[in-house]
Amino acid sequence: MTGIVLAGGQSRRMGRDKAWIEWDGQPLVARSAGALAAAGCAEVLVVGGDASRIAALGLRAVADAIPGEGPLQALAAALAAATDPIVLVVACDMPGLRPEPLRTLAQLAEGFDAAVPWVPPGGWEPLHAAYAKTCLPAIRARLVAGERKMTCFYPDVRVRAVTPEEVGDLESLRNVNTPAELEAARGGFTIRPARDEADVLAAGHLFDNSPDPAATARFLSEAGHHLLLAFVGAETAGFVSGVEMTHPDKGAEMFLYELGVDPAFQRRGIGRALVEALAGLAGSHGCYGMWVLADDDNTAALRTYERAGGHRGQAQRMLTWEW
């Protein structure tokens, strides 16, 4: 069985090469390679990235056929270079990789062309999967047709959808694309958008007041309204909400509406990571900036916002209307 680490991404959202981020004393690319070896891969290849640095780790580097063309092209190069009929493929940015889920994928791939986790609500996890070399003709055909989506060739091959229960340790699937996601992984928590009213109501203890079901439903249904939740295990540890605002002479900006972290989980970087996650979301939605109002004597909130990259603006007076 051959193990493949895909390391050719440009890491734009992280701001530095994810493959070489240190985790427990070793770069993430080496950590991924180690998990593959522990899963039973006699051969481990690294596709893309800095070949000389990869070789210095004692790993075999395989060049991207067309650098910068995405993971599907890298998968084609990996399958072509692999000597074994079954290939375990992972990304270089997965600090929680575990050998057991990888071995399970290899076993479930028997009789199929691929075994890929399917985890609702996100769907396929194509960069933590087992592929047979029999996938290569379908991948090449899609590439020739100009397609680049990692899952575009799935209709052309036999794919075994692997359930979360079969995967077992879902932490193995976690990847880190942004500084906020890296902070969350280091702190042992996860951040994701609220999926429905039940998600928000279960986090009611974090709000200034108990969420109103009707207001919650309206908030979640409106475009440009965002609510991110932080979890430690199954417990809701924090949240941040934001609203996109647009003005004719300014464009779009994100207003950070409210931030809350359970006292039991404070001082773990959760607040900062939530703010950074909302800022990253704002940037991806085309917002030119983000702003928040905070009381001058709320030193904890001000410190969190500043650590997340916020800058204090000019002193202003807020006026309110109430009825």
Q: 299 Cβ partners below 8 Å, 6+ apart? A: none
With bands split at pLDDT 50, 70 and 90, how would you rate the model's confidence at 70? confident
Instruction: Answer yes or no: is pLDDT of 219 > 70.
Output: yes
Question: What's residue 110's pLDDT?
Answer: 93
List the structure tokens of 160: 């075994």
Residues 299 and 196 in one domain: yes
Distance CA 321, CA 152 (A): 53
Say if residue 40 is in the same domain as residue 162.
yes
Q: Kindly report, residue by residue over 167-198, the tens digit of the pLDDT.
A: 988 888 888 888 878 878 888 888 889 989 99
- Name the residue type at position 89: V
Q: Is 27 found in the same domain as 140?
A: yes
Per-residue pLDDT at 68 exceeds 70: no
pLDDT score of 14 more than 90:
no
Residue 77 neighbours by CB under 8 Å, 6+ apart: 47, 62, 63, 64, 65
Q: Are residues 202 and 165 in the same domain?
A: no
CATH of the domain at 59: 3.90.550.10
Query: Does residue 83 form part of some domain?
Result: yes
Q: Is 108 in the same domain as 248?
A: no
Are 122 and 235 in the same domain?
no
Are 246 and 287 within 8 A, CB to CB?
A: no
Same domain, 249 and 133: no
Q: Please count the structural domains in the chain.
A: 2
Indicate if 92 and 192 belong to the same structural domain.
no
Indicate which CATH number applies to the domain containing 300. 3.40.630.30
Query: For residue 239, which phi and psi values (nearest 5 degrees)?
Result: -155, 160
pLDDT, position 317:
78
Q: Which two tokens stand for residue 256?
A: 């950070």
- Give the pLDDT of residue 65: 64
**Dihedral of the alpha carbons of 276, 279, 281, 286, in degrees to the nearest 10:** -160
> Taking each helix axis from N to C terminus, what angle separates 99-108 and 28-38, rounded to the nearest 10 degrees?
50
Three-state secondary-structure class, residue 26? strand
Q: In the prediction, which pLDDT does 176 show?
A: 85
Q: Note whether 67 and 48 are within 8 A (CB).
A: yes
Using DSSP bridges, classify how beta strands 235-247 and 251-261 pair: parallel, antiparallel or unpaired: antiparallel
Q: Which of 42-46, 105-109, 183-187, 265-269 has the lowest mean pLDDT?
A: 183-187
**Can you give the pLDDT at residue 67?**
63
Whole-angstrom CA distances from 309 to 180, 271, 278 are 12, 12, 12
Which of 173, 204, 235 terminates a domain? The answer is: 173
Query: For 209, which DSSP code?
Result: S
Q: Are residues 60 and 185 in the same domain?
A: no
Tell me, what's the pLDDT at 99? Answer: 93
Find the mean pLDDT for residues 88-113: 93
Average pLDDT, the chain: 90
Domain annotation covers residue 144: yes
Q: 188: alpha, beta or left, given left = phi > 0 and alpha = psi -120 to 50?
A: left
Residue that wins the pLDDT comparison between 131 and 183 = 131
Residue 315 resides in a domain: no
Domain that holds residue 236: 179-307
Instruction: Mark which of 173, 196, 220 sits at the end of a domain.
Output: 173
**First-to-last C-alpha distance (Å) of the chain:** 69
Per-residue pLDDT band at 40 (split at 50, 70, 90) = very high
Indicate whether 166 and 41 sit together in one domain.
Answer: yes
| 278 in the same domain as 130 | no
244-253 contact pairs (CB < 8 A, 24+): 244/282, 244/285, 244/287, 250/288, 251/286, 251/287, 251/288, 252/285, 252/286, 252/287, 252/288, 253/282, 253/287, 253/288, 253/289, 253/290, 253/291
Tell me, yes or no, whether 142 and 223 share the same domain: no
Tokens representing residue 15 in the block: 């701001």
Model-level pTM greater than 0.75?
no
Report residue 36's pLDDT band, with 50, 70 and 90 as the boundaries: very high
Range from 26-30, 64-68, 76-80, 128-132 that averages highest in pLDDT = 128-132
